Structures are given as structure tokens and as C-alpha cells.
A = this chain, B = another copy of it.
Amino acid sequence: MRSLLPVLAVLGGIVMLFAATMLVPLAFAFLGGDAALYAYDGAIAITFTSGLALYLLGRRSRRELQPRDGFLLVSLVWTVLPVFGALPLLFHIEGLSFTDAYFEAASGLTTTGATVLTGLERLPLSINVWRCLMVFIGGMGILVLAVAILPLLGVGGSQLFKAETPGPMKDQKLTPRIAETARGLWTIYFVMALACFLAYRLAGMSWADAFMHMCTTVSLGGFAAYDASFGAFDSPAIELVATVFMLLAGINFALYFVAWRRRSLRGLWRDLEARVYFALLAAAVAGLTLYLMAHRVYPDLGQTLRHTAFHVVSIATTTGFATRDYAQWPPFAPLLLLFLSCFTCCAGSTGGGIKLIRSLLLMKSAQREFKRLVHPRAVVPITLGGAAVDANVLQSVLAFMLVYGAVMVGATLLLLFSGLEVVTAFTAVLSSLNNTGPGLGLVGPAGTFQPLTDFQVWVCTIAMLLGRLELFSILVLFTAAFWRK
């Protein structure tokens, strides 16, 4: 039996830091004198004390963490933090169940952006700030997870994410220590956040709106401070800003990191995944614009293009903002959006889903099979960006895809079993597992996850967590082999 204790010390430290971030909504509440002012001191006290207790509990057994501890740590971080993140919501919003509060916090910290709350504009500003800040913090965690931790653990072939960055990455490895990588990634993330914040302000948002929606844009999170999401602004300028920053945030942050260290954007232009990402999105916008024009959904090309571009980028990057109820478009359109959300995001971004590079590898692996059928004795290696892909990495990616499919089907059957109709069940799972936010049916862009029963909410919560931790990090904890010495 492995010991939990060394991991708990680190978790305790993270929980204490998380408590500190609650000072931000507290400051908003204090300065604005809003009704939720007294929701934070209790939350901060409980969170900090719990973190301290965890730290003290684990301190004695503290040792250098081994890779295997990583599975436990990341799983604990993303399942435990929502408990504390839920506290301000529980303390302020009367009648909110723990199930719903945990869902909301987990949805934030996994940058899913699905909500169980309605009447967002009637909530105190500080509560919305906290919701959005959790998304921003979640994004910070995900960057480190995706670029530094998962590749180390070899989850779902994510070794690939590093190795496949062509050009500069070849002769210059990512700063080995996770802490240093984290600092680099976060600097980029903060610079992007600042630019986004100012751009939103310039485009006409209030300072507070600019802050909150910046938080949920660069993290591809998708929470908004309004029930109507970005529809509340009805501003092409704001939508343009959102689109640009969603696009930028969907790229592998390791590329930015290298570009910054090298003072050169060459690696970015040359990256296969990034190129396919832009090409795919451009094709989807063009195609869907034509489709909606043909169906005369909007009166002219300008409006059609505006709504298509915004929603394609928002859903494909798994952000989840909406300005229109695109579930009302002819059914091909919303389904195409959900389909894109499964694989469009680049690895090493804060987006969800299978990731583009895995999808490319899967396609190549299917292609190889055709060659093999014609030339049974030929050895056909699979290459990506010029380099051959290791057979183990390929098998990991294939296994990822299998488990992804199995979780999708299994969770959908659970939701059906619990009484949901098929479209809501399937898209709620799809959207949760891909960390997108909106689905279709009850959980469509005009709805929320509120109508779901507690059981259904938990299924979606688990799907969000599984998707965020790339399935294996959390599922491996349920194998006997993991716990054996």
C-alpha cells in the first residue's frame, strides 16, 4: 500500500495558496460593499486551516515526489479544491446544494464553464468574480499539468506533446524542473491575460466585466457574468476580442514558451498542430457560414459570418461562450460544433478533448493500416512533423481514445438510465468530458445544468474531472497495481 502522506503535504500547500486567492473576491466585495462580503472570511478560514492541517499531516513523511505520486497529486488537487471553491457559493447562495456548489466550482477549476446557476446578473459582483477567478486559476493548473506533468507521467501518449514540437524544441529542452516551466508558462498566461483584459475594456466592457471575462477567455473556460453569456454585450468588437484570444489560447503554450525564450516566432509557424488548428477552424467557419447562408438563418453574409466565427471558435476551442442560441440552428450546425470540440484544441493549451495532435496520430495510424493491407510485409513507421513516433506512444494514444469512447458511452448510458432523454444525455456527457460547457437539449446554450438531478450532476462532474485529467491520471488510482508497493 502506497503512502498518501507525502502527497498530502504538497496538496496542503496548494490548498493554502488557494485560500489566498479568495482575497480577490473579498477585495471586490469590500470595495463594492456587496451582499456576499461575509461569505469569504469563513471560506478563507476553513480553506486555510484545512490546507495547514494537510500540510502538517504530511510534513513528517515528506520526501522527493516520485512520478507515480503525480497521479495522486493531480487527482487530489482537482477533486479537493472544488470542495473549498464551493464554500463562498454555499455561504452566500441560499438553498444551493453541496452537489450543485461542487459542480460549479469543479466546472470552474476544470475550465469547463457549465453552470447550475441562473440569474447570474442578480448575484453580487464578488460571487461572479470568484466563479471566474476559479476558472483562471484552473487554467494555470492545467497549463502546468499539460506541459510539464502529464508528459512526465506518460498519460495518453502526452510525451508526444513535447517531442513533436519541431524546430527550436529539438535542441533546447523545456526547462526541466516543473517549477521553472510553470513560471515560464504563467508569465505568458499573465501577459495574454493582461492584453485580453485591456482589449475587452477598450472594446467597451466595464473594468469588472473585462476582468471577469478575461479570466474565462484566456483559460478557455466559458463562464460569463450574465445568463445570456456574451449575448449580453451584443457587441461585434467584444466578440472579435474574445475570438482572437480564444484562438491564441487554443495553441500549445509550450510553443509560446519556446518562442519567448528564443525571441522568435518561427517555431509557432512551423508547428504542424498549430497549422492544422488554424486551417481546421478556418475551414469550419467558411463551411458553416455557407451552410447557414443556404438555410437563411441570418439575413446577410456579415451577420452570418459574425455568428459563425464566434461560435465555431468558442465551441471548437471548448470555451463555451455563446451570443445566440445556436441549438436553434439546423441540427447539423450545433452537432458539427460539438464534434469539433472533441479534438480541435492543441495539446498544451487549456482546452479540452482529445487534442489535435492525438487526432492526427490516430488518422495516421488508420492510414497505415490501409498500406499494410496492400503490403502485408512492409514496415510502415508513423511519423509526425518528420520524426517517427514511438510505438509505445502510439499505443498510449490509441488506449486514450478507447477509454475516451468508453467513458463517453458509459456516462451517456448512466444519464439515460437516470431518465434523461438521449440528446441531453449524450451532449451533457460530451460537453463535460471535453470541458466545453454547453451541450444541447436541456443543457443547451440557452439552458443550464440546473434541471439535472443530483445523480446526473455527479455524473457530469466526474466526466469533467476525468476529461480534465486526461482520463488516466484519475482512473489509474482505481487499479490495484497502483496501490501495490
Contact = CB atoms under 8 A, between A and B. Distances in A.
Interface of A: 67-68, 71, 153-155, 291, 330-332, 335-336, 339, 362, 365-366, 368-376, 391-392, 395-396, 398-403, 405-406, 409, 412-413, 416-417, 419-423, 425, 440, 472, 475-476, 479, 481-482
Top 6 A-B pairs, shortest CB-CB distance: A369-B399, A332-B416, A332-B417, A374-B481, A398-B398, A366-B402
15 contacts: A67-B376, A71-B373, A154-B376, A155-B373, A332-B413, A336-B416, A339-B409, A368-B395, A369-B395, A369-B400, A370-B472, A371-B481, A398-B402, A405-B405, A422-B440
A422 B423 contact: yes
Given A401-B402, A423-B422, A370 B409 contact: no
B422 A331 contact: yes
Given A154-B373, A374-B479, 4 more contacts: A154-B376, A365-B398, A371-B481, A374-B481
A370 B484 CA distance: 13
A339 B475 CA distance: 23
- Looking at chain A's contact residues, the main secondary structure is helix
A87 B372 CA distance: 38
A409 to B, nearest CB: 7
A369 B155 CA distance: 9
B332 A374 contact: no
Contacts of A366: 399, 402-403, 406
B332 A370 contact: no
Contact of A373 (B153, B419, B421): B153
A395 B472 contact: no
A373 B332 contact: no
Contact of A68 (B370, B374, B398): B374
A366 to B, nearest CB: 5
A375 B412 CA distance: 32
A413 B335 contact: yes
A472 B396 contact: no
Contacts of A371: 479, 481
B399 A365 contact: yes
A419 B399 CA distance: 34
A284 to B, nearest CB: 12
Nearest to A419: B330
Nearest to A424: B331
